[in-house]
Structure 1
Amino acid sequence: MKKSIRRFLAAALSTGLILGTMAGCSTSSNSNDTIDNSTTPETTTKEETKETTKDDKLNITLYYSDNATLPFSENWLTVQEVQSKYNVKLNFEPIPIADYQTKVSLALNTGNNAPDVILYQSTKGENAALALNGAIVPISDYSDWTPNFNQMVEKFGLEEDIETIRLKDGKYYYLPALFDQPFYDGGLILREDLLKEYGLEAPKTFDDLYNVLKTFKQENPDSYPLTILAGPRVLYRMTMPSYGVSLGKNAASGSGTLSWDYDKQEYFAGAIDDRYKEYVSFVAKLYAEGLLDPEMAEPIDGDRWTQKLATGKSFATYAYYDQIGGLEGTSDIEGIKFQMYAPLEGPSGAHHQPKSKTGSGILFPTKTSKRDDFEQVVRKIDEIFFSEEGAKIWCLGVEGTTYTGQDDAITYTDEIVNSPDGIYKTMQVKYGCGSDVTQMIWVNAREMSKYDENYSRINKEVAQMDNAIQYIPPTPMLDDLQAEEAGMLQSPLLDAFEKWDNAFVTGTKSVENDWDDYVQEMKNLQIEKLCSIYNDNLK
């Protein structure tokens, strides 16, 4: 529909039918704008813009991606503190993570039901087409309204990273989360006490992992040694890179079915590549031999996941370090000990999920720009999430309540330190600190203060590995028509991939016998065309 409207308007303009109505409505923009206050939008002088006073709180509605392992609470200390400190009412709408992208897509496509702010988003995939078709505010046009974001970008030296999120028109459409340096926060977690009991070495490769899981199964026939948190996507994003691919809903490329070749510096059709075939064959072997939780196809909520591991029904998982304390604290098994390990080596090396110094962040639906107080909304969001004070609240809570000290010498309250869930998880669940959805500034020194010496040791080990954490693949510079075409190709391709992937893993389809049929279906859905669109538009 948007394409038809755009073509109608172009035709009308060419015949002069609507020249009168369009006069004076165009806005000038500079596709080469920089972060440093390069533009001054006309809307900054709107007479109807309201000033917010102490007695007139600014009301802002926000979409929030809600995870069952970290359920949102409007009573979190972080939420209450920023509302009080910045004289604002934040009306969060928590949406289950499994439904989040669908809800966001619907809101951006329809426009009218969109909130003021959408959290935990980027402009990879469909959002790129929506942005270029006018559904999302080009926030780079308003860079003078985001001084705190600009300052943090400069402080972390992320100017070049910001350049990579610009779309074909030279603009960026969201304010990404900013990291001073990536860190290894999650990976393979398994029972260290059982490794010692069974005389096993810590796994270094996926073949090692297979042998460890086999031993666990032999010693505990009724178990499913490897379980999964929140469905296959967590397992896939943490293990696929060692096989040279990144696919599915959490694909590093944002495409779902394409992967990035780090040697050739180009995209390839990862979903039909032999590298994926080798990967899914390995996972299918685990499933067939009873080494992989048969419930893996459906999202396993945090409570069931914890119960499986705490009771000995499972012994290994892919998850985050901060969750170890909760597993051990919940268990009645004497001497139970979980440990997190560095990325395992696969056919393409030992790699974790790709990361960059920018992450999913904040975008503004175009509807928000129609508010009389749009400037105040943008400035307030910038202050709440990107100012030094705001950043500390979302990370550490409130000084004197949850912690004391500065980055290099932070001390947490005794209640938090002694919590069986550990500092990080307690800060998340009880106070709302350290949520990927709301924390926009990540300072490594602060994050390490929430963990123990063991975690720091693991991070040092990973840092010494050869490119264990790869960079996020570049975003193709698509214009609106190309982005729209790519978006139309991506959805059916991803749906088909997920259907076949589940069938391959569970054995209802054979990798050996049905692979050619699968490849042909993906080719019929034009995966090769999608790949060409991406490669033809690399910056």
Structure 2
Amino acid sequence: MKIKGLFASGLPLMLILAILCSSCAKSNDPRSEVDDFIESTPEGTPTAHYGGLYPIKTDKQLTYWAELNGNAGSIKPSFQDVPFFQEWQRRTGVKLDFVQPPANQAREAINVLLASGDLPDMLEYEWANFPGGPEKAINDGYILRLNDVFDKYAPHLKKYLSEHPEIDKQIKTDDGSYYVFPFIQGDDMLRTYQGPIIRKDWLDELGLPLPVTIDDWYTVLKAFKEQKGIEAPLTFLGVPNPLFGLESGGFVGAYGIKKGFYLDQGEVKYGPLEQGYKSFLALFRKWYAEGLIDKNIATVDTKTLDSNMISGRSGASIWNAGAGIGTWQPIVMDKQPKAQFVPAPYPVLQEGDKPKFGQRTYAYTGSGGVAISSKSENVEEAARMLDYGYSPEGHLLFNFGIEGLSYVMKDGYPAYTDLILNNPDKLVPAQALAMYTRASYFGTFVQDVRYMEQYYLLPQQKEALKIWSNTDAERTMLPQIPKTEQESTELSAIMLDVTTLVDEMSLKMILGIEPLEAFDDYAAQIESLKIHRAIEIQRNALERYQKR
């Protein structure tokens, strides 16, 4: 790796050293439980077959840059120690040398990596959100345009895209370029997984119903604070930016707007410009002053969030059915048998109203895709390995793991074993899944709804899907809209300044540092930063997308 390029990027010395160390201190394919399982498996069983194209005949070792998933990282320190990645290499015949950035620093680390010019064969990153867009990443010589690569070396992905033209449209740039092997959510049921969560046992204790309106929530949070002595009744993610946990529309959506771009009867709008955002800030300013919101609003990360909810420091949040309810419930219930974490609907102003917004992802989210770098001398091997996830055998591996170990076939249904659902080492299902599959996070495959049918073991999780899906999010969210390189570059530059100002404005007003009367001045500043040009870019791209 080129040291000069790293220091020229202006990143902190410790981060640079951590990145360098992560790329040189890699495991050498240690013997694992997967090896032991394979050796004990009789010849001719399903685990011995990987399709006609695999394993690939090669002695090359390819490099793969990615951040290790948090659930996997809490159990194993590196990719090479995770059984899934051992099995993926074994089946495809391609050995990998992983370059692993520090946890939660992927965005900073990839800037260092790109500046160095010393690029690995494959890079797993949010390429849809690359500054200037993925077309710029291609034109700047960082990643390959994959159209010819798909034609030559990715028959399984090509087949899937030909059968799903709407997905095919989403994973191309506006210039028609493929740029990643994508993560695709293969069923509508997979696209909603997050929403409000609350301690129902506390509600029952206080004689309060499940909150529906903003007024209901105020009553509940105030009772948690005053009658139960809860330090931070409501907590949510404030990292990587303020109010991050509310970006799907929680609480702010009750005022008919969203903290970002959205569609209002087909018209593109930007929420922080609207008067409804001022009303939301007034609400949270009041709640913060009364101690109803975590005082550490700007620094709550996932570990802090877990700690708040498990310890009882907080009693309500907005988080996931799996990583939230599925993780907190068994841990807390072990010591407090009556504890209940349950889903609540997205808050509205008037009872009977349908929430305008809610968490809802795209079939292709733009995250978790893997690009092939322009510096790679192993394009064929990289592409064939990445294409494996879209094959029938790869689909089962990525979603369910290894047959006979992490799942068994029951009448054609891949059923998880107790290794996943009742792990002997006391791993919660989210952790066990991250060890043997990629079903619960991103990767180069199509996510299977049968994973969720089993992953959501608790009745509260199943109920969460119904409650959180009952919104108008499908009509108010912008499609995953490709843009031209020029549009992406201009939009990124505008929104970098706008979002910085909005985050600063929002936090200062909620904390009481700035008066609410300053809102109109802040809105004028947002307009001076060319937000209306950003809205125009979104509108133009939407119109082109709809005409495709």
- Could you tell me the TM-score, scaled by structure 2's length? 0.76
User: For residues 161 and 415 of structure 1, do their structure 2 counterparts lie closer, same or farther at Cα, with a shift above 3 Å needed?
Assistant: closer
Match of 1:267 in 2: 268
User: For residues 421 and 354 of structure 1, do their structure 2 counterparts lie closer, same or farther at Cα, with a shift above 3 Å needed?
Assistant: farther
Match of 2:244 in 1: 233
2:356 is the counterpart of 1:337: no
Match of 2:433 in 1: 428
Partner-residue secondary structure (3-state), 1:294: coil
| 1:349-374 deviation per Cα after TM superposition (whole angstroms, max 9, x unaligned) | 41322322112232425xx2343321
Partner-residue secondary structure (3-state), 1:138: coil
Aligned with 1:196 (options 177, 199, 204): 204
Q: Report how far residue 69 of structure 1 moved.
A: 8.7
Match of 2:317 in 1: 317
Give me the whole-angstrom Cα distance separating, in 1, the residues matched to 2:380 and 2:526: 45
Give me the whole-angstrom Cα distance separating, in 1, the residues matched to 2:285 and 2:71: 27
Give me the whole-angstrom Cα distance separating, in 2, the residues matched to 1:501 and 1:73: 38
Equivalent residue runs for 1:209-288 within 5 Å: 209-229=217-237, 231=239, 232-239=243-250, 240-247=252-259, 258-263=260-265, 265-288=266-289
2:393 is the counterpart of 1:389: yes
Give me the whole-angstrom Cα distance separating, in 2, the residues matched to 1:311 and 1:125: 38
User: For residues 362 and 125 of structure 1, do their structure 2 counterparts lie closer, same or farther at Cα, with a shift above 3 Å needed?
Assistant: closer
Aligned with 2:506 (options 489, 501, 510): 501
The answer (yes or no) to whether the contact 1:326–1:421 under 8 Å persists in 2 is no
2:379 is the counterpart of 1:379: no
Give me the whole-angstrom Cα distance separating, in 1, the residues matched to 2:232 and 2:419: 35
Q: Provide the identity percentage.
A: 23
Match of 1:140 in 2: 147
Partner-residue secondary structure (3-state), 2:235: coil
Match of 1:10 in 2: none
AA in 2 matched with 1:507: G
Match of 2:3 in 1: none
Give me the whole-angstrom Cα distance separating, in 2, the residues matched to 1:139 and 1:519: 42
Give me the whole-angstrom Cα distance separating, in 2, the residues matched to 1:233 and 1:217: 23
Q: Report how far residue 56 of structure 1 moved.
A: 0.4
User: For residues 173 and 245 of structure 1, do their structure 2 counterparts lie closer, same or farther at Cα, with a shift above 3 Å needed?
Assistant: farther
Number of positions where the alignment pairs a residue of Structure 1 with one of Structure 2 = 469
Aligned with 1:352 (options 351, 355, 358): 358
Match of 1:525 in 2: 529
The answer (yes or no) to whether the contact 1:52–1:58 under 8 Å persists in 2 is no
2:165 is the counterpart of 1:159: yes
User: For residues 114 and 369 of structure 1, do their structure 2 counterparts lie closer, same or farther at Cα, with a shift above 3 Å needed?
Assistant: closer
| 1:317-338 deviation per Cα after TM superposition (whole angstroms, max 9, x unaligned) | 1111223243233333342121
User: For residues 175 and 477 of structure 1, do their structure 2 counterparts lie closer, same or farther at Cα, with a shift above 3 Å needed?
Assistant: same
2:521 is the counterpart of 1:513: no
User: For residues 57 and 165 of structure 1, do their structure 2 counterparts lie closer, same or farther at Cα, with a shift above 3 Å needed?
Assistant: closer
The answer (yes or no) to whether the contact 2:234–2:315 under 8 Å persists in 1 is yes
AA in 2 matched with 1:509: E
Q: Report how far residue 292 of structure 1 moved.
A: 0.9
The answer (yes or no) to whether the contact 2:62–2:378 under 8 Å persists in 1 is no
Give me the whole-angstrom Cα distance separating, in 2, the residues matched to 1:471 and 1:520: 25
AA in 2 matched with 1:497: V
| 1:215-264 deviation per Cα after TM superposition (whole angstroms, max 9, x unaligned) | 111212352111224633133325145544443xxxxxxxxxx512241x
Match of 2:27 in 1: none
Q: Tell me, which stretches of 5 or more residues in structure 2 are unaligned?
A: 1-53
Give me the whole-angstrom Cα distance separating, in 2, the residues matched to 1:241 and 1:165: 28
Give me the whole-angstrom Cα distance separating, in 2, the residues matched to 1:112 and 1:492: 27
Partner-residue secondary structure (3-state), 1:297: coil
AA in 1 matched with 2:406: T
2:305 is the counterpart of 1:305: yes
Partner-residue secondary structure (3-state), 1:528: helix
Q: Tell me, which stretches of 5 or more residues in structure 1 are unaligned?
A: 1-50, 248-257
The answer (yes or no) to whether the contact 1:120–1:361 under 8 Å persists in 2 is yes
User: For residues 398 and 204 of structure 1, do their structure 2 counterparts lie closer, same or farther at Cα, with a shift above 3 Å needed?
Assistant: same
Match of 2:497 in 1: 492
Match of 1:33 in 2: none
| 1:389-428 deviation per Cα after TM superposition (whole angstroms, max 9, x unaligned) | 2232222221111121259744333353335978632423
Q: Report how far residue 203 of structure 1 moved.
A: 1.8
Equivalent residue runs for 1:4-19 within 5 Å: none
